[in-house]
Amino acid sequence: MSDEASVVAQAKVNLLLRVLARESSGFHAIETIFLRLDLGDEVRVRIRAGERSLDCSGPAMPADGLGDVVRNLAYRAGLAYADATGWPLGFAIEITKQIPVGAGLGGGSADAGAVLRVLDALAPNPLGRRLVELAAGLGSDVPFLSLDSPMALGWGRGERLMPLPVPPTRPIVLLPQSFGVSTAEAYGWLAADRGTYAPKADVIDPANLTTWEGLVAVATNEFEPVVGARHPEILRAVEALRANGAAIAMMTGSGSAVVGVFDAAPDLNRLTSETGLRAVLTRSASRVVPVKRVE
- End-to-end CA distance of the chain, in Å? 8
CATH number at residue 182: 3.30.70.890
Whether the full predicted model's pTM is greater than 0.75, yes or no, is yes
Residue 100 neighbours by CB under 8 Å, 6+ apart: 60, 107, 174, 176, 257, 280
Is there a single domain that holds both residue 109 and residue 217?
A: no
What percent of the chain shows pLDDT beyond 90?
Answer: 74
Report if residue 295 sits inside a domain: no
Tell me which residues are annotated as active site: 12, 141
Task: Give me the pLDDT at residue 159, please.
Answer: 78
Is there a single domain that holds both residue 269 and residue 191?
A: yes
Task: Give me the pLDDT at residue 196, please.
Answer: 58
Task: Give the number of other Cβ atoms within 10 Å of residue 136's Cβ.
Answer: 18
DSSP string computed for 92-132: EEEEE--SPTTSSS-HHHHHHHHHHHHHHHH-SS--GGGHH
Of 173 and 26, which is predicted with more confidence?
173
Task: Give me the pLDDT at residue 203, please.
Answer: 74
pLDDT, tens digit, for every residue of 19-58? Answer: 876 655 556 678 999 999 999 999 999 999 889 999 999 9
Task: Give me the pLDDT at residue 67, please.
Answer: 79
Is there a single domain that holds both residue 35 and residue 96?
A: yes
Of 193 and 130, which is predicted with more confidence?
130
pLDDT band at 193 (very low <50, low <70, confident <90, very high): confident
pLDDT, tens digit, for every residue of 68-83? Answer: 888 899 999 999 999 9
What percent of the chain shows pLDDT beyond 70?
Answer: 94
Task: Give me the pLDDT at residue 84, please.
Answer: 97
Task: Give me the pLDDT at residue 86, please.
Answer: 96
Report if residue 292 sits inside a domain: no
Mean pLDDT over residues 86-113, rounded? 94
Residue 201 has pLDDT above 70, yes or no: no
Mean pLDDT over residues 2-7, rounded? 92
Which of 163, 196, 212 corresponds to the end of one domain? 163
Rg value, the chain, Cα: 19
Of 278 and 199, which is predicted with more confidence?
278
Strand, helix or coil at 238?
A: helix
Residues 223, 186: contact at Cβ < 8 Å? yes
Is there a single domain that holds both residue 69 and residue 182?
A: no
**Enclosing domain of residue 218:** 171-283
Is there a single domain that holds both residue 185 and residue 107?
A: no
What domain count does the chain have? 2
Q: How many CA atoms lie within 13 A of 263 on its CB side?
A: 6
Task: Give me the pLDDT at residue 270, please.
Answer: 96
Report if residue 289 sits inside a domain: no
Which of 163, 195, 220 corresponds to the end of one domain? 163
Residue 276 has pLDDT above 80, yes or no: yes
pLDDT, tens digit, for every residue of 129-162? Answer: 999 999 999 988 999 999 999 999 998 877 789 9
Report if residue 198 sits inside a domain: yes
Is there a single domain that holds both residue 64 and residue 151?
A: yes
Report if residue 290 sits inside a domain: no
Q: At what angle do helices 183-194 and 223-230 cross, to 10 degrees?
A: 100
Which of 99, 130, 163 corresponds to the end of one domain? 163
Is there a single domain that holds both residue 273 and residue 209?
A: yes
Is there a single domain that holds both residue 22 and residue 122?
A: yes
Residue 184 neighbours by CB under 8 Å, 6+ apart: none
Is there a single domain that holds both residue 220 and residue 142?
A: no
Task: Give me the pLDDT at residue 50, please.
Answer: 83
Residue 103 has pLDDT above 70, yes or no: yes
Is the bond preceding 25 in cis, omega lying within 30 degrees of 0? no
Is there a single domain that holds both residue 271 and residue 133?
A: no
Is there a single domain that holds both residue 62 and residue 178?
A: no
Mean pLDDT over residues 208-220, rounded? 94
Strand, helix or coil at 48?
A: strand
Report if residue 294 sits inside a domain: no
Mean pLDDT over residues 258-284, rounded? 96
Is there a single domain that holds both residue 66 and residue 154?
A: yes
Task: Give me the pLDDT at residue 13, please.
Answer: 96
CATH number at residue 81: 3.30.230.10
